[in-house]
């Protein structure tokens, strides 16, 4: 048995029963990182000594009969765009290579409090601005399960690490699919919590602008539904540094799911349609009612999300892109600006006004249909770096990703579940729910998410 290939749930049971020490679990993971990470480049900042010291502390607590937390001794990774004391919050940028954090961000602090052992920090594209993962500082991350395909982005390093067994739970962030798409592309599972569920604050950057406040969240990626639940529970603990944190409600719900194969006219690959239909049948066999009601707007929410997100680049972001000089980021920023020109004060205010209307429509929908099943993307995962191959390719990628871009505009949680694969591509679905209803999505994962073995590329 290689402890590095076990789920977090299995590891905590063994460590608590003292059948495996936290040190042994971490040593096995570090050895696997030594073997596999050079070819993957998923982890770009290592902390072997700190990880082993933390594991020894966990073992000492257990020896004293103390409870080290729900993730006792589990090796995890965190993304390089959140603060971890003593490490650079690079966000994939050369201009931030010396931006050393002096305190842990809330997600890092919560993982530590839960007893997790951080073994490395994972790669992201420059500015976390793509569904592909490459930057001029850390280089490119490769997909361990499906060579030649993107590992996704912006949490591509996180997904690749979890898929390859470099820690069973990976922290990621998501403003437009950056947890959901990498999980899909690497053939694992990922949960984007809703607005306010996981506290956030980077002291190195200060308070986020309105787009980040309303739409950017942290969440877990993992190879099992049980590990998603563990990771979410750990990450979502309160932290006073985030004024918008909200507690879970765990409200009862009806087992009723809407099925949308082609929301707002999305061109959906036949294999994805079949995968969604099969997932709906599985739910139906487990007592769920499945329907195909009309949906509130997706496309309008996507367009307004891009407007709100890109408006932040008018406050120094464009200058930072120019200073960084990353070819991918420069191309992506240029193409995004074509889709969402710099807003005026009026268009910015109208976007926020429309957000209230769209959220009202969608929350009314979720009151009748607690879950919506949609494609993660209209197309199977793309060849690596396809988006920067031409403006036409970039436009095709944006169109396909509409189901990921729209929901964060209203602050909704989303789940990606991998249900199977072809010889060349993973197959999976996205499930969406109302704010505060992550528990519904996690219950859904229990029914739909198979346990994915760690891959050795």
Peptide bond into 362 cis (omega under 30): no
Handedness of CA 283, 284, 288, 291 (dihedral sign): positive
Phi/psi for 450 (5° steps) reads: -70, 155
Please say whether the beta carbons of 188 and 162 come within 8 A. yes
Please say whether the beta carbons of 315 and 348 come within 8 A. no
Write the DSSP string, 180-202: HHHHHHTTSEEEE--TTSS----
Angstrom CA distances, 61 to 3, 13, 18, 25, 76, stand at: 20, 15, 12, 16, 19
For the beta carbon of residue 422, count every other beta carbon within 10 angstroms: 10
Query: Six-digit token pair at 186?
Result: 């690497």
Q: How far apart are the first and last CA of the chain?
A: 18
C-alpha 153, offset from chain centre: 9
Closest C-alpha to 266, from 299, 303, 293: 299
Q: Tokens 């919506």 belong to which residue?
A: 372
3-state secondary structure of 419: strand
Catalytic residues: 79, 154, 178
Q: Tokens 């001029």 belong to which residue?
A: 136
Please say whether the beta carbons of 120 and 163 come within 8 A. no
Per-residue HEC secondary structure of 100-122 comes to ECCCCCHHHHHHHHCCCEEEEEE
Query: Six-digit token pair at 301?
Result: 């929410």
């Amino acid at each position: 048995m290689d402890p590095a290939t076990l789920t977090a749930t299995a590891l905590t049971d063994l460590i608590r029963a003292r059948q495996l020490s936290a040190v042994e679990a971490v040593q096995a993971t570090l050895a696997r990182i030594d073997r596999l990470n050079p070819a993957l480049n998923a982890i770009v900042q290592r902390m072997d000594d700190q990880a082993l010291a933390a594991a020894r502390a966990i073992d000492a607590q257990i020896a004293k009969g103390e409870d080290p937390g729900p993730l006792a001794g589990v090796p995890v990774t965190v993304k390089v765009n959140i603060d971890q004391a003593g490490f650079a919050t690079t966000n994939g940028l050369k201009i931030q290579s010396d931006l050393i954090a002096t305190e842990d961000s809330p997600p890092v602090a919560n993982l530590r409090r839960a007893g997790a052992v951080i073994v490395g920090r994972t790669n992201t594209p420059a500015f976390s601005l793509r569904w592909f993962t490459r930057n001029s500082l850390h280089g490119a991350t490769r997909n361990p399960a499906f060579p030649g395909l993107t590992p996704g982005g912006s949490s591509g390093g996180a997904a690749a690490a979890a898929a390859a067994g470099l820690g069973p739970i990976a922290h990621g962030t998501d403003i437009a699919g950056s947890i959901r798409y990498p999980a899909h592309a690497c053939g694992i599972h990922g949960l984007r919590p809703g607005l306010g569920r996981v506290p956030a604050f980077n002291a190195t950057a200060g308070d986020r602008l309105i787009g980040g406040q309303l739409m950017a969240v942290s969440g877990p990626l993992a190879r099992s539904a049980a590990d998603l639940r563990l990771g979410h529970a750990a990450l979502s603990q309160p932290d006073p540094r985030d004024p918008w944190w909200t507690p879970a409600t765990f409200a009862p719900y009806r087992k009723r799911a809407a099925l949308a194969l082609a929301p707002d006219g999305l061109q959906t690959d036949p294999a994805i349609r079949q995968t969604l239909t099969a997932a709906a049948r599985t739910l139906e066999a487990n007592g769920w009612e499945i329907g195909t009601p009309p949906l509130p707007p997706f496309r309008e929410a996507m367009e307004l999300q891009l407007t709100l997100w890109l408006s932040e680049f008018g406050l120094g972001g464009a200058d930072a892109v120019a200073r960084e000089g990353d070819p991918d980021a420069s191309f992506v920023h240029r193409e995004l600006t074509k889709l969402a020109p710099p807003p005026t004060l009026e268009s910015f205010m109208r976007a926020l006004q429309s957000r209230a209307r769209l959220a009202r429509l969608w929350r009314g929908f979720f009151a009748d249909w607690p879950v919506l099943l949609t494609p993660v993307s209209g197309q199977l995962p793309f060849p690596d770096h396809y988006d920067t191959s031409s403006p036409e390719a970039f436009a095709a990628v944006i169109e396909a990703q509409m189901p990921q871009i729209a929901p964060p505009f209203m602050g909704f949680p989303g789940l990606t579940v991998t249900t199977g694969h072809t010889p060349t591509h993973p197959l999976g679905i996205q499930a969406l729910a109302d704010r505060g209803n992550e528990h519904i999505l996690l219950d859904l994962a229990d029914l739909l998410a198979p346990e994915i073995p760690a891959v050795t590329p």
